[in-house]
Amino acid sequence: MAKLHSASLMLNELAPDREKILRRLFPGTPLFSVNAEQINDYLAGQTQPSVVLMNPPFSASPKINSRNPDATKSHINSALQRLADGGRLVTITANWFSPANPSWRETFVRWHSEARVLMSVGVNGKVYSKHGTTIDTRITVIDKVPADSSEIPCITETLNLPEILALIQQLPQRSSWERSEIKATAKAKVVQLPKRIIVAQPETVFSLPDDVVVLEYEVIEWTASEGLKDTLYETYRPQRIRIKDALPHPSLLCESAALALVSPPAPTYKPHLPRNILTQGLLSEAQLESVIYAGFAHCEFLSGSYIVDDSWDNVTVAATGEENAVKFRRGWFLGDGTGAGKGRQCAGIILDNWCQERRKAIWVSKSSALIEDARRDWCALGGTERDIIDLSNIKLGDPIPFTQGILFCTYSTLRSQKNGKSRLKQIFEWAGKNFEGVIAFDECHAMGNAMAQEGKLGMVAASQQGIVGLRLQNALPQARVVYVSATGATIVSNLSYANRLGLWQTGDFPFSSREDFVESIEGGGIAAMEVVARDLKALGLYLARSLSFEGVEYQTLYIDLTPTQPSIT
């Protein structure tokens, strides 16, 4: 009904089967699959709805195995926080969730102090009898406006539909409301997909603010005044740059002592970002450093020219002046740990390129559920959820009907092919061979073992995910590649896919081939990997920070077992 009245929809459905149905019914509509008890947190930074229609679980929670009587309250609480000021929330709950119920009276009083409960009326369960249930329910209507009295209207008895309709028609009109964020007023054009669905695509997906600025910073000198310390980690702060007015990371960061004694080069690249990224602290100083060094790396190309065959599998050094030779743009590796905001940094790198008119990007991740994290991080920087294109919603072999956007897919989707059609070719045709946008390989260790190698029981074939990851990089030589993994520099095979770092074949490092690199580093173990990480950081190609545990206290607790507990195994 909302769609028929030309509403702009944002949907959330936790159940997988119903989620699939909604994707078929509303293609191109933002659809989330999260526990709505925290819907406000999951949608942080996204457009706030003017109306919320919800049917929360009566007493069930995906995080609690037993029944949870607070489930309804938690869902409505979070939805009210997400609702725009002046908006209206309408919810169908169990009939016992009522202002007249002493157990919930305090909850309604608290809501009514911040919003206005317009109506709470029971629905006779008989109205659902043809659907196989006769459970009484309750409709509650709340406007997010100041309440004009302390009285909370409530009808304790259950009514039939004609009586409820009469009450609804007596409700006051909704408050005048105007979207305060990016307005979705762009005219839509219809794109016909062959033998499939019709997708409405906005002509302007992401409206850039007028105040895109060049990020200025000061380059400082740095020297290692001390040798290796007894500590394993050092408190982290950018070593070579200072950004005026940039906020420190919300949590204290640290870096391994070995890496802390290596300084990255002085960067010369200056990102283009909306002014509010800095003024509102949407990216911390450490995260802005990543955007700077990623752009710094992407300004360069690997040494030499190369010939890529039609399968995108084989890359050979080209002779001087050879026709069809290509140069590969240098990539960059983000090795931050949990809590440093790797997704937010990926979004920042893409936004920098977006502001410079490179309006296509490719975001590859390990799980389809991580598209919600990508949407969260992109929208936190001012984008909209519609900018993220879910490749799994487009049929294999069909053209991708978007002229701009961030194409999201998983590694398993990337490697899929059938009847001569492949996702890789589909992406290549959308991006174009001269594609210069960002390819973010999130959780890139999923491409590990990108080459065949000797195992305990003989040769182990290269993984298909690693192979297709290499093909994508070979097919788009001018792409700005970002590798993202907290475990990328722990196992040498986890770097066999990272051909854009120039670790082999380019002359920047003393390895003639990928096989030569892997064989040489494997012999040195983790110490050799640490040397590689230090060298990459010294070249400005690698950063690895993690949350510091400074100030954290812990103690051991001893719990005595009861006589029966030891026998329970």
Contacts of 375 (CB under 8 A, 6+ apart): 30, 32, 46, 385, 388
Per-residue pLDDT, 195:
33
**Which candidate, 303, 386, 290, places its Cα nearest to that of 346?**
290
User: Could you check whether 11-43+48-169 and 212-547 share the same CATH topology?
Assistant: yes
User: Greater confidence, 525 or 101?
Assistant: 101
pLDDT digits (tens, 9 = 90+) for 356-403: 999 999 999 998 889 999 999 999 998 888 899 999 889 998 999 899
The C-alpha atoms of residue 331 and residue 327 are separated, in whole angstroms, by: 12
Q: What is the DSSP string of 52-104?
A: EEE---SS-BTTBSS--TTHHHHHHHHHHHHSPTT-EEEEEEETT-STTSTTT
CATH class of segment(s) 11-43+48-169: alpha beta
Q: What is the DSSP string of 320-347?
A: TT-TT-B-PBP-EEE---TTS-HHHHHH
Q: What's the pTM?
A: 0.64
CB 423, CB 398: distance < 8 Å: no
pLDDT digits (tens, 9 = 90+) for 115-138: 889 999 999 988 888 888 888 899
Per-residue pLDDT, 226:
56
User: Greater confidence, 559 or 232?
Assistant: 559
Per-residue pLDDT, 453:
56
pLDDT digits (tens, 9 = 90+) for 301-338: 998 899 999 889 888 888 887 888 999 999 999 999 98
Two tokens, residue 395? 């049929």
Q: What is the DSSP string of 160-172?
A: -HHHHHHHHHTSP
Residue spans per domain, the chain? 11-43+48-169, 212-547
Two tokens, residue 222? 């740095």
Per-residue pLDDT, 565:
87
Asked if the 212-547 domain carries CATH number 3.90.550.10, the reply is no
For 214-232, what is the mean pLDDT? 78
pLDDT digits (tens, 9 = 90+) for 496-547: 888 899 888 776 777 877 788 887 887 777 788 888 889 999 999 999 999 9
CB 161, CB 130: distance < 8 Å: no
